Structure 1
């Protein structure tokens, strides 16, 4: 069975270390696993029930929902902005949580990971992301974690895909997500 995983990155910055971590996940995905790095999260308008009506849902939100609908599991890459989840990632979660009780996350394995400048690697934001996506209906893999501290120094000259320790931990995480996706299929 092949597994499709959708990756959402909560940083829009060019050269984002979280984006690079997502690229590393794509590069080191196990055989039979396709990880789609969703492009365009920053173009999805803020969630508003007034525009979430059949026939008027913005094309960017439709594209996000379509990609999520094809996914067997999710990887959410969250940096930490002022101690919490970035707005762009929270907005993506909000769009995918609808319709209530039957959103794209419903019952699908979801892991939250990331890197940040601070000494804890963004754990506060990642915990908030787990909370939000869990309320949105995902099967949050609470014990499947990867928080990489000191991103600015650690990845100053090394892409996460070339950092042996990061790759080892990422491969373990991907194996766990893949196993959960197969178990829930």
Structure 2
């Protein structure tokens, strides 16, 4: 099974990118995890550039990577109780073009990490809504990580044992649910 990891954060030391790296390391043997192209390279969506953007460049590469995956792993921070604009822009590009109907039913698992106490609950609710509108099928349990800074062991370069166990369970459930669709 080919999984595509998509971080909704462009921050260099992103908690969400770290979360996806740990998830990739916890993937079952039958799952291979690849990384989505850099979302910040995507131009702002606009109908005036749509045809040209799908012909080549970062939009074409991003859409091709999503279509090549059997399932997506999306981790996003919470900005003002919603998803980052960069992630929303990427999802807007996915919803367009002649191949947009290929997304119908494609499995996607959702996670999020934040230093705050809510664990990206509101952002994930918005993300689930947008994913559903564009035809993706959210699978498995959500993974909410609150207090990310206190859960990361910088010396060991990994999350605490309890979160590592949750990541393992999240990946197992995601792969199982994605394989049944």
If the length of structure 1 is used for normalisation, what is the TM-score?
0.89
Moved more, 152-161 or 113-122: 152-161
1:8 is paired with a residue of what secondary structure?
strand
1:174 matched residue in structure 2 = 171
Task: Kindly indicate whether the alpha-carbon contact (under 8 Å) linking 1:115 and 1:148 is maintained by their aligned counterparts in 2.
Answer: yes
How far the C-alpha of 1:54 sits from its partner, in A, is 5.8
Q: How many residues were matched structurally?
A: 181
5+ residue gaps, structure 2, are none
Cα drift, residue 149 of structure 1? 0.4
Looking at structure 1, the residues matched to 142 and 114 of structure 2 have their Cα atoms a distance apart, in angstroms, of 14
Q: Distance in 1 between matches of 2:178 and 2:142?
A: 16
3-state secondary structure, aligned to 2:78: coil
CA distance in 2, matches of 1:154, 1:132: 29
Conserved 8 A contact 1:18-1:114? yes
Please name the residue that 1:10 is paired with.
8
Residue 119 of structure 2 corresponds to residue 146 of structure 1: no
**Alpha-carbon distance between aligned partners in 1 of 2:106 and 2:61, rounded to the nearest angstrom:** 18
Post-superposition shift, 1:67?
0.4
Report the secondary structure of 1:125's partner residue.
helix
Alpha-carbon separation, structure 1, partners of 2:158 and 2:96 = 34
Q: RMSD between aligned alpha carbons?
A: 2.1
Say which of 31, 36, 39 aligns to 1:38.
36
